[in-house]
Amino acid sequence: SISRSGRPPSYYCNDSTDLVNWVSFDLDLKNRQSGEETSEATSFRLPKIDAAISCVGNVKPDSDWDKSTFFGLAFNDDRLYRENGTLNKHAAKIAKESGAERFVLLSVSFEVAKMVEGPIEGYMDGKRAAEH
């Protein structure tokens, strides 16, 4: 299992947790200072795998409140697109390069998509990009 922190928090752990190989890796391959893609995209390798499942996604609003938007929440569409689309594409690429014959993407249901289309377009556009 890959996550930014490696192992899950202790309150999620049970006896089966130790049966999993936990790997710490951040799919956000952008250099935090320059904004450029880093070479980690081509240098990170998993051992040979058969399949991968991506649960990557985020709909967290920005910290600023905007009274003219959906419930006063402010969303950065570029960030939402990156976190819901680009990062899933990185996951699929790494899985394929590691030999995965199957890749499962947990996306968003059609009913939810209809509801959030306007207020958080970056989220929906990112999910759609990852699906293609």
Q: Using alpha carbons, list the distances in angstroms from residue 79 to 70, 113, 128.
A: 17, 18, 15
The amino acid at 95: A
pTM of structure: 0.74
Residue 113 pLDDT > 80: no
- What does the pLDDT look like over 3-56, one tens digit per residue? 878 888 888 899 999 898 888 888 876 544 455 565 555 556 778 889 999 988
- What does the pLDDT look like over 25-35, one tens digit per residue? 888 765 444 55
Class of residue 102 by CB neighbours under 10 A (exposed 0-12, middle 13-18, buried 19+): exposed
